[in-house]
Amino acid sequence: MITRRFQNRTSRILPMLLILIGGGFTWNHAGNPDDPTYLPDLWRKEVRSLNRIQGVARSGKGEWIAVGGGPKQAAIWVLDDDGDRQDTWLSRQGKRLQRPGDLAVVGDRVWISDHGSHRIWWFDRARRRHRHFGGYGSEAGRLNQPTGLWWDDRRLWVADRGNRRLQRFDEQGRQLDSLTAFDAKRSFAAPTAVTGDGQGRFFVADAVHQQIAVLDRDGQPQAVIGDYGFFPGLIDQPSDLLWDGRRLLVLETRNHRLQAFDPEGRSLWLWGAHEIMPHEGRGKFHYPNHFAVDPRQGRLVIAEALEDRLQYFDWKTGGQAPTYDPESIQSGRFHFGPYLDTSGPLMITADVESHDIRVYDIRGEMPINLHRFGERGSQYGLMRQTRGVAIDPQKKVILACDSANQRLQIFSYQHDPNEELKQLPEMTRFSRAFSFTALQRRGSDARADYDGVFVAPDGAYWFIDPRHHCLRIFTADWQKRAVIGSFGAGPNHFNHPTDVAFAAEGTWTAVVDQNNRRVVILDSKGKVKHRFGRKHLIQPFGVAIGKNGAIYVSDQARHQILVFNVQGRLRQVIGEQGVGMGQFWQPADIDRTEDGRLVVIDQGNHRLQLFDEDGRWLVTMAISGTWTHRFPPPKPRTKPKESR
């Protein structure tokens, strides 16, 4: 329901309590029966192998246009109503895209947001020419990780996520204005998508507030739709919006569904379900990120970047809304990652969906869960978007970056490795927290974000600042030591660093520079020694250093672990794309244990995997069970239908 600025929280909670007291979870269309509801009905087809598919849109010519890929592999695909490719535009212009996101189609012009180059590109399909505007920065007209796009009567709306604002541009890329107010008391935190109803109202999704802002034609906030959760009317990770003429459609990435709201902000229906088997598809979703609808032709297309696929559905008029099944969302599985850390006998990793942190004993063949702490919330000890985690064995504390609450939290822990192995429900206790603003006051030269956190061998704390594309270093007593790097592609620059690893003796450090497709090696003073990887890396994420100096890098686009020597020469490739033991699906963070094993967050498969020093598979741990090289899972008698 739309929340007016003068309403209190009780008015939002009461309808939900009435639903729960009623004892049922059925959520049916409750509006005017003469008002047709558009509902997805029949799954038609999957289109796979669309590398890192992102935005999808319906053109005026009756085509479905999608964009995806990245450096060396960016593509614009044109598909018909049956999902058959009519064209793949992979030209010199297309190869300039680094990390394409959303797109908008106006006539022969295709607008694409690129959060790798921090630009907006437009491509003229008829003349095969291109232009771009923007570029990294926070000044008027500059961009930082632009995401959602929407075209409105000769104006292009851009969700400028990294700068926490919306910008509006004319056809030539000149900025018209900038909007920052989410509601009367808050600014935008992470705008992801924007659309309008054609009557002067605009809707903006925010992935941190987990709500939809309603703006008037002048961009002034008027109301708010939804709140965090998975019940009807609530939202989790809104990633795309569309007004279909009568209602607002919201795609929710972490609820794996599409939800419809009427013009007053009341939830009409929910549709969609989390896939049960890995990469199941066939009408089940796995982190859907964009969608497009053509009600007149009866078609719905949903994009899933994690699965490299589009799914096609019929879009019917009328009929009863589906029964809502909360079990389809809250499956109970643990979603590992994206970050982990190991120290001595312990390993920790966080769940971005349940917002808790789990502690494992890793001395045996299989990791054993000792303890879990935290859940979603704003109070101390709770988290809303857990990212980087780290263990400081000297101080016996665990550090966790919470980007939604804009703070670093520190938990003390007690662990005696000589005691009998058992679960430890009282292992951790909240110790203290630093808001990102407080860290800024301690010496940061700008309003910074903090994503990954790492403990150096000398006890210093290293942070990734994704907003300024740099590393920020504090001493063990939280005084500013240094800032390394800035945005760019030069020798001393980064473009979205994602992970840091330290050599055991502390003489050098490896940093993953994701959008520049390379690993940067720093000396003990933070100076760049050399860089490598562009020949082999596509979308690197995690890095770990072996005892012999070998550098392990996870690549989410290749679905592999690449092993380099200290000079940067490729020596080995571990794994391939798949769901089998030792295979990967967009692997994220990696680390080396004290005894030399390699731990990998196999994020797309929601599991952890361990390998020996030579890259041989040892253990796979998932919600469905744990398997080892000595006790592997039984082989299937027949091949899965998708691979026939």
- CATH number for the domain including 78? 2.120.10.30
Q: Output 373 or 354, whichever has higher pLDDT.
A: 373
- How are the residues of the chain apportioned to helix, strand and coil, as percentages rounded to the nearest 5? 5, 45, 50
52-105 per-position pLDDT tens digit = 899 999 998 899 999 998 766 788 899 999 899 888 876 554 467 888 999 999
pLDDT on residue 335 = 80
Q: Is residue 260 part of a domain?
A: yes
Is-contact 459 506, C-beta < 8 A?
no
Strand ranges of the sheet holding 336-343, from the earlier edge strand across to the other edge: 336-343, 346-351, 357-361, 368-373
Neighbours of 231 (CB within 10 A): 18
Residue 226 phi/psi, 5-degree rounding, is 80, -175
> Which range (107-116, 292-301, 326-335) has the least confidence?
326-335
> How large is the average pLDDT for residues 179-207?
96
On whether both 280 and 385 belong to a single domain, the answer is: no
Q: What residue has token string 């690449």?
A: 562
The span from the CA of 218 to the CA of 200, in Å, is 8
Nearest of 553, 559, 530 to residue 541 by alpha carbon: 553
3 state DSSP class of 10: helix
pLDDT(417) > 50: yes
On whether both 404 and 297 belong to a single domain, the answer is: no
384-412 per-position pLDDT tens digit = 989 899 999 999 999 999 989 999 999 99
> Which range (177-191, 556-570, 628-642) has the least confidence?
628-642
pLDDT(322) > 90: no
On whether both 309 and 352 belong to a single domain, the answer is: no
On whether both 249 and 144 belong to a single domain, the answer is: yes
pLDDT on residue 321 = 61
Q: Is residue 451 part of a domain?
A: yes
* Average pLDDT along the chain: 88
Residue 515 phi/psi, 5-degree rounding, is -75, -15
On whether both 350 and 411 belong to a single domain, the answer is: yes
pLDDT on residue 535 = 94
CA dihedral 380, 381, 382, 385 (to 10 degrees): 100
Domain that holds residue 157: 2-19+46-316
> Which range (25-39, 114-128, 377-391) has the least confidence?
25-39
CA-to-CA separations, 377 to 333, 335, 384, in angstroms, rounded: 20, 18, 6
pLDDT(537) > 60: yes
Is-contact 537 555, C-beta < 8 A?
yes
Neighbours of 566 (CB within 10 A): 17
Classify residue 307 by its DSSP letter.
G
Q: Is residue 138 part of a domain?
A: yes
Q: Is residue 323 part of a domain?
A: no
On whether both 388 and 452 belong to a single domain, the answer is: yes
Residue that is last in its domain, among 437, 455, 484: 484
Q: Output 129 or 511, whichever has higher pLDDT.
A: 511
> How large is the average pLDDT for residues 493-515?
95
CA-to-CA separations, 366 to 1, 213, 558, in angstroms, rounded: 47, 46, 27
Q: Is residue 612 part of a domain?
A: no
On whether both 373 and 294 belong to a single domain, the answer is: no
pLDDT on residue 32 = 40
Confidence class of residue 25 from pLDDT cuts 50, 70 and 90?
very low
pLDDT on residue 42 = 87
pLDDT on residue 505 = 83
* Cross-strand pairs, 552: 544, 563
pLDDT on residue 165 = 97
Q: Is residue 584 part of a domain?
A: no
pLDDT on residue 31 = 40
pLDDT(278) > 70: yes
Token pair listed for 60: 């005026």
> How large is the average pLDDT for residues 486-490?
95
On whether both 151 and 112 belong to a single domain, the answer is: yes
Confidence class of residue 326 from pLDDT cuts 50, 70 and 90?
low
Q: Is residue 322 part of a domain?
A: no
Give me the percent of the chain exceeding a pLDDT of 70: 88
> How large is the average pLDDT for residues 265-284?
89
Residue that is last in its domain, among 439, 467, 484: 484
Q: Is residue 540 part of a domain?
A: no
> How large is the average pLDDT for residues 118-123?
93
pLDDT on residue 236 = 94
Confidence class of residue 30 from pLDDT cuts 50, 70 and 90?
very low
Confidence class of residue 245 from pLDDT cuts 50, 70 and 90?
confident
Domain count, the chain: 2
553-589 per-position pLDDT tens digit = 999 999 999 999 999 999 999 999 999 999 999 999 9
On whether both 281 and 346 belong to a single domain, the answer is: no
The span from the CA of 256 to the CA of 293, in Å, is 17
The span from the CA of 414 to the CA of 408, in Å, is 20
On whether both 421 and 464 belong to a single domain, the answer is: yes
Residue that is last in its domain, among 484, 517, 551: 484
pLDDT on residue 191 = 97
On whether both 297 and 399 belong to a single domain, the answer is: no
Q: Output 46 or 92, whichever has higher pLDDT.
A: 46
Confidence class of residue 4 from pLDDT cuts 50, 70 and 90?
very low
CA quadruple 343, 346, 350, 351: dihedral positive or negative?
positive
Nearest of 576, 570, 571 to residue 557 by alpha carbon: 576
CA dihedral 337, 535, 509, 447 (to 10 degrees): -60
On whether both 229 and 347 belong to a single domain, the answer is: no
